[in-house]
Chain A
């Protein structure tokens, strides 16, 4: 009963380095999302996907790219990390249902520090 799993849980990057965060869900959900959480700012949507092969920008997409090649996986990439991208990143997924119940299930989070 894994739900939503994020890899890695912690990471420290130097400015300019690149990395990819992996999100995997085993609930066959159509929607997947990447959020960042900063103190006092709540959860802000970076990118999201409404299905395999489709992605869309959220509220704060600059500096990030995403891909959803398989329905169960949603990757978040940072091409050239900046200190402003220091944050806790959460992946989430939700189903598309007849009753429009869009409860989102969250991963455990990735704490990223860019120095």
Chain B
């Protein structure tokens, strides 16, 4: 299987500061790494993802980096805003076509709080 560990479990930052959440994975065959944001009482929703053939991806204020050798990936949020407050989940997936393991292994989540 796959084991995904996520740190920290809680993170508090001041509005405008940056936030970094880190994840490690165990299976070198994993090749797709999405990040989900879950606002209070809502469903998780994809915010950004990265594949194993890419080292970094950015989308406005959020970016994800991947280090395949070390088997870790990180979410970076710059210029944080109160509306960024949510639980963030990382995940890893061995997305080989035809595999029964077309499923996601989630980290335990990081509660991010952005103080105004």
* In the complex, B97 has a CB within 8 A of chain A: yes
Closest residue to B90 on the A side, CB-wise? A42
A43 to B107, CA, bound (A): 8
The answer to whether B103 touches A33, judged by C-beta atoms less than 8 angstroms apart, is: yes
The answer to whether A50 touches B45, judged by C-beta atoms less than 8 angstroms apart, is: no
Contacts of A102 in B (CB 8 A): 32, 93, 95, 102-104
- Residues of A near any B CB (own CB < 8 A): 30-31, 33, 35, 40-45, 48, 50, 56, 58, 90, 94, 96, 98, 100-104, 106-109
The answer to whether B45 touches A106, judged by C-beta atoms less than 8 angstroms apart, is: yes
Total inter-chain residue pairs, C-beta < 8 Å: 62
Give min CB distance, A36 to chain B, whole Å: 11
A31 to B103, CA, bound (A): 8
* In the complex, B29 has a CB within 8 A of chain A: no
Q: Which among A40, A94, A96, A109 is the interface contact of B43 at CB below 8 angstroms?
A: A109
Give min CB distance, B34 to chain A, whole Å: 6
Contacts of B46 in A (CB 8 A): 103-104
Q: Which among A43, A50, A100, A103 is the interface contact of B89 at CB below 8 angstroms?
A: A43
